[in-house]
Amino acid sequence: MKSHISTPGATRQFTQLLSSTPRGARLARLLAVQQLAEWGWPPSCTASESAALVVAELAANAVTHGRVRGRCFRLRLVVEAPDTLRVEVADPRGDRRPQPRTTTLDPGAESGRGLVLVDALATRWGTEPRPPSGKTVWAWLPLT
């Protein structure tokens, strides 16, 4: 039996507040990889690599577009079932919610590809309000 399969009713979750800085975004990615390794998904596996990319993008967006001076962002990882990881990044800017891209990307653009990557790696993703004024961007990733 694999070590990352949880027993029925058991929930694996990790939550960390991080500074709304590029350093905080990098730390979010490192912490996600470390936590997944502790749960049994090594850094070199597809699930961990996908989670690292999604966390990096959502954390970078929280720092770039969701930052409020003096406020942190929150990373939360939850193993929803033996085969699904829910990644959540919450920030204090509820007025700036990402939308799925409906237009073609400009090949010369230096930004705008992050949520395309999230969309490609996640089985689902979206946003929800985080009262009183924030938002949570979440993505479900396969762990198999």
Q: So what's the pLDDT on residue 1?
A: 28
Q: What are the residue ranges spanned by the domains of the chain?
A: 12-95+113-142
Q: Which residue has the higher pLDDT, 18 or 99?
A: 18
Phi, psi of 135 (to 5 degrees): -145, 160
For the record, the structure tokens of 104 come out as 């073609």
Judged against a pLDDT cut of 60, whether residue 110 lies above it is answered with no
Output the DSSP codes for 72-121.
-EEEEEEEEETTEEEEEEEES-TT-------SPPPTT-SS--HHHHHHHH
CB atoms within 10 A of CB 24: 20
Question: CATH number of 12-95+113-142: 3.40.630.30, 1.20.1300.10, 3.30.565.10, 3.30.1300.10?
Answer: 3.30.565.10
Q: So what's the pLDDT on residue 138?
A: 96
CA distances for 72 relative to 19, 24, 58, 68, 127, angstroms: 5, 9, 14, 8, 18
pTM here is 0.83
Average pLDDT, the chain: 84
Q: What is the pLDDT of residues 29-85, one digit of tens each?
A: 999 999 999 999 999 999 999 999 999 999 999 998 877 787 899 999 999 888 999
Residue 114 near residue 72 (C-beta atoms within 8 A): no
Residue 52 DSSP one-character state: H
Q: Within 13 Å, how many C-alpha atoms sit on residue 114's CB side? A: 20
